[in-house]
Structure 1
Amino acid sequence: MTIAAPYSECLANDCRAAGGLGVDVTVVLAPNEADTNVVSYLYRLSSENVWRTVSGATATVTLTPPRSGLYFLEVRARDDVGRGRLGPSTQVSFKVAEGDGETGRWRFGEAEGAALDSGTRQGTRHDAVLSSGAIRDERGRRGLITLDPQGVPLPEPVTDRGLQLDGIGGYAATDGPVVQTGASYTLSAWVRPESLGGTDQVVLAQGGTDGFRLLYDGAHGTWALRTGTEGGPGQVTVPADRPAVPGVWTHLAARYDAAAGRLRLYVNGRLQAEESAVALVAADGPLEFGRGASTVSTGYAGYFGGSLDEVAVWQRPLTDTEIADEARVVVNGGYNAVELVADWSATGRSGTTLTDTASGYAPELALSGAASLDGQALVLDGVDGAATADGSLVDDTGSFTVSTELMLDAAVISTKPVGYVGQVLGRRSVDGSVWGLWYQVTGMDTVVDPDTLEEVTVPVGFWRFGRRNADGTQVAVTSDERARLDGRVRLTGVHDAQDGAIELYVGSARNGAAVPFTATPGAGDFTVGAATGTGSRRDHLPARVMDVRVWAGAMASTQQVDTAVGG
């Protein structure tokens, strides 16, 4: 194998980084002198799980490294004997140089004063000054920070801060341009709009009406990138293909690749749309957070109402993998940043509502039917008892974690037939295609009653996390063992939007393998103890629910679930 410039093979005492993100690796594959009947090769990069094939005794392959760092290319030759015999595995390694760091990054973690630019690229720092109507609050996207980037526990946990804007006149701005808008760039930000309507709300803007605006497009109800081009057609808009969701954390990213002449918009780390843009306007002006230049008069418009956090700007087009990493918010190798957005504990509570007093977002669960609070649990009768919170707590197409501790009502469950489903919690719409945790009876078992010593038939059921469609099909992770009917259990579901997968934890133990999952946006309320259908509820669960917690962000490991949720 021969690696073409600018890369070179890593040797024992010489492994130089070269190239960079977006710079392809070209490798020539050829047999040694003793092999005269090679007809093809299998190969894969160390970042991939799938083998690829290329034909020919000598072949050239081109690969695109998704990240910087050390890579291994593994190759096996195939000959023409019979169906083709595979030779031994051969590896060659090379190192990809890091791309340019951020020209600006703002975390809004300061107690007061300007928002400091902590970008890694050398040069002028672009601190952002906050106006009146712009404050920091303790609802930052990184949530409760307990570890440093190396994974060492902090002496005291730190509650992350974010930028809160009033939607009237609040904004933040640098004192000059941060990127050249006519050259390649990437924008990234976490946003949480309090409400959405028919009016534009600008997340980031630079360069007046000729520059870029990453915004909520009120006319179409979705996120969009809007920018000017040289020589027409004037404004170019790249809209997302899904509606924006109010009251939840959503990750937005926009990328301009000048060499390719393409604009791209990403939501929650996934590509939503792209448009051609041959030449963008090189527009000056400060970087504005939460407002943009008015298109109908002098001054500014589109004031954003809600939270912004983790804003970053690069003077290069990030790869899709890098953008997905920004949407994941990695703390370190085994932990992702998660923000608690709902925390309902039934301890000491009574009445017809259960208020969240811990997360800082204060959503409320409204009890209905025979549901009640007895000071220890939310009691559900399995007939019509339920509790609901308006709308969504998280962006259904983004990463999230949900956890609850509950105990099934064994006496009522023992009367259920095979096929019975009881919804623990979740968000469902008319077609059923959102997400949830549920209990399902899959069979019957004959056991001896310890009190009467007589044989009785009891249901065998399992916990599931995923989606149930209207036609009864499921995409779900199933618990390894049957659900207990005689004690408490902690269930945690994780949706990782960047990996496109879901996981289920029983206690702090992951059950089964991650299941591929394509998220869809929901339209109904968040419900505990039942599933919402066409104007009615069904799948009522007889149980005692001690608590329910929801986080924006996917917990990354068993260790993180154990630390944050407990067994």
Structure 2
Amino acid sequence: MTTPAGAVYAVCPDDGDGCGLGTGGPGVAGPFTFAKSPEDKDIVAFEYKLATDTAWTQVPATDTATVSITPALAGVQVLSVRALSKTGSGLRGETTAVRFKVAEGAGPSGLWHFDDAAPGSGARLATDAATTPGSRHDLTLHEAAADWSAFSRTGEGGRSLWLNASTGSTEPTEQTGYAEASGPVVNTQSSFTVSAWAYPTDDTASRTLLSQTGSDDRGFELTYSPELGRWVFLLHWYENGERKSVSADAEAAPGITLNAWTHVAGVYDADAHTLSLFVNGRRQGAAALLPAAALPTAVDGAFQIGRAGTTYGSYENYWKGGVDEVATYQTALPDTEVAKTAKLLSPYGPARAVELVASWQPQGSTGTAPLADTTSGYGRSLQLNGGASVVDGAIVLDGVDDSVTAPGPVIEDRESFTVSTEVELDTDAVNAKPDGYAAQIVGQRSADGSAWGLWYQRTGYQEYIDEETGELLTKPVGFWRFGRLNNDGTFTTVDSDEIASAGPVRLTGVFDAQEGKIRLYVGSAQNGADMAYTAVTGSGEFAVGKGFTNDTWGHYLPGRITDIRLWVGAAADATQIADMVGPGWDGASDRMSN
């Protein structure tokens, strides 16, 4: 059996790296040929797999066998090949490992950051940052209800497109603002991918994020459907004079989270004849197979943001809310590449784009008045409940019935986020609690329980001698946790490495939706390893000092909290968290800035 050879991908030399710059790209198929040696009379099949594949694929062996290999990742890839003999019960020969290098993806064919102008500036042009001069697809904002917003999925200093809604709230009447290219941006008869960050403010009607429909009414839509209660990626065509549609939809994922950022993408694979939908960088169900009669064509209609074309040449389904970082690709991105677009990676290092969506610091406040967010711009306030109050620059909670809440959800729980707080336990009050007692420091609830939270759990006590009185005393022993308290009383959390100190302690939790993992930082150190985690959708309040499990509130925290912040986006590491939180992030509230 000879080594495979490919026309798109070149096999790397056996000695050293020597793979060159790479060819093809993620999602780009290339032929590889397997050949028998003259002495290999008994070979009946070849089996092969990439390192990223979970199973071997078998192909019958003639003198040669040519297969199509589609790598999912850039960089050096390893293709393993082995022969299957007809002797015995089917013996497999030694595995040959062949290396080839995959070039980085070509990048988006269209990309709109919407950082062009300030809100209310009157500017009407959103520039295309992806393509080369002479082939750009700039967008024009239409109607007064299309404007710029200081909200941005890319963080401080960015902007976004805002359509048919006031920033942060829903307008009472329908409006018809949208953005439009001068013509088509993607060739819909070939493979393509479209994606965007969405900040919906209304779910009472169909809301189209992206579309491109021609004068023949063929084309695509990326839309939220209230009837189905989920996102759909639609492709329209004509059959026997009748307009028909096929959709890929998020069957397993409930609707949309209002007033929160969500990443949505649709992929059409012309070779496989399938549609796929992705929410927050993750595939939603199986790809939808188009019927043989569904023959997409290159449509002549203009690319639209915020509305969809109808069979009568008019438009409908106007979007309400924010849109940011819209991208188009003239290829069917593999799952791994879609996840990469949702991560919003920085080209300059491991850091990712994050947007501060809530920030509450009690310094300067006093008493029981609502605590305003004057930093992020999203404008949510915390309501102090029970006997909770602000004293000496801290929210003070008694661990009995005190709490602080904001209407939620504040973030989309299925999207990456980072939460950070500074807490100091009331050790006397915790000492009076039983072993196993768990208190939520900050978190967001689902319909019937905890969606996620930063927690303290008491696990026992320690005896110690009071240095002044010589008395034998006890103090509580417990651990910090980040994740979810399940309705059966068990935790799905990553835990602190050491026993929790009374504080003040800086706690930071990170959920990476694309990787499906959570991380916990205590002070400046990550505690524990990244832990696999399946998110649930939060539908209720954001709560400080209490938790909602088994359909009821409880898990009250006795202590002081001096800082609460949430970002959409997963901080990459401790260095990025330090940049996000600012000086004093490893403790000491009196050193806090921001």
Shared fold, TM over 0.5: yes
1:25–1:65 contact (8 Å) kept in structure 2: no
Q: How does 1:73-222 map to 2 (within 5 A)?
A: 92-111=98-117, 112-120=123-131, 124-131=135-142, 132-144=144-156, 159-167=157-165, 168-197=175-204, 199-207=205-213, 209-222=217-230
1:539 matches 2:555? yes
1:357 to 334, 351, 374: 374
1:4 matches 2:5? yes
Match for 1:114: what amino acid?
L
Query: What is the SS of the residue equivalent to 1:559?
Result: helix
2:448–2:551 contact (8 Å) kept in structure 1: no
Bigger shift: residues 227-236 or 129-138: 227-236
1:524–1:532 contact (8 Å) kept in structure 2: no
Bigger shift: residues 163-172 or 391-400: 163-172
For residues 156-215 of structure 1, give each alpha carbon's deviation from its aligned partner in whole angstroms, at most 9, with x where no partner exists: xxx111111125122111111111223221110000012321x11111111154321111
Match for 1:524: what amino acid?
G
Aligned equivalents of 2:338 and 2:191: distance in 1? 15
The change in CA–CA distance for 1:41 and 1:510 in structure 2 (over 3 A counts) is farther
Match for 1:181: what amino acid?
T
Question: Identity rate of aligned residues, in percent?
Answer: 43
Query: What is the SS of the residue equivalent to 1:308?
Result: strand
Match for 1:326: what amino acid?
T
- The runs of 5 or more residues in structure 1 that have no matched partner are 34-39, 78-85, 145-158
1:189–1:252 contact (8 Å) kept in structure 2: yes
Match for 1:328: what amino acid?
K
1:307 matches 2:319? no
1:259 matches 2:271? yes
1:323 matches 2:330? no
Bigger shift: residues 179-188 or 457-466: 179-188
**Alignment match, 1:400:** 417
Q: How does 1:225-374 map to 2 (within 5 A)?
A: 225-231=233-239, 234-241=244-251, 242-273=254-285, 274-277=287-290, 278-294=294-310, 299-332=314-347, 333-350=349-366, 351-374=368-391
**Alignment match, 1:223:** 231
Aligned equivalents of 2:483 and 2:66: distance in 1? 43
1:509 to 509, 525, 538: 525
1:558 to 561, 566, 574: 574
Query: What is the SS of the residue equivalent to 1:321?
Result: helix
For residues 306-347 of structure 1, give each alpha carbon's deviation from its aligned partner in whole angstroms, at most 9, with x where no partner exists: 110000111211111110001111014310111100001111
**Alignment match, 2:440:** 423
Deviation at residue 76 of structure 1 after TM alignment? 12
Deviation at residue 119 of structure 1 after TM alignment? 1.5
Aligned equivalents of 1:104 and 1:42: distance in 2? 36
The change in CA–CA distance for 1:468 and 1:536 in structure 2 (over 3 A counts) is closer
1:470 to 456, 472, 487: 487
**Alignment match, 2:120:** none
For residues 520-566 of structure 1, give each alpha carbon's deviation from its aligned partner in whole angstroms, at most 9, with x where no partner exists: 11222111100124664200000111011000111111211122123
The change in CA–CA distance for 1:29 and 1:324 in structure 2 (over 3 A counts) is farther
Aligned equivalents of 1:122 and 1:68: distance in 2? 27
- The runs of 5 or more residues in structure 2 that have no matched partner are 40-45, 84-92, 118-122, 166-174, 587-594
Bigger shift: residues 223-232 or 6-15: 6-15
Tell me the TM-score normalised to structure 2 length: 0.83
Aligned equivalents of 2:498 and 2:219: distance in 1? 57
Tell me the TM-score normalised to structure 1 length: 0.86
Aligned equivalents of 1:53 and 1:280: distance in 2? 30
Aligned equivalents of 2:443 and 2:350: distance in 1? 26
Query: What is the SS of the residue equivalent to 1:229?
Result: strand
1:15–1:94 contact (8 Å) kept in structure 2: no
1:269–1:498 contact (8 Å) kept in structure 2: yes
Aligned equivalents of 1:451 and 1:43: distance in 2? 70
The change in CA–CA distance for 1:484 and 1:293 in structure 2 (over 3 A counts) is same
Bigger shift: residues 333-342 or 130-139: 130-139
Aligned equivalents of 2:496 and 2:431: distance in 1? 19
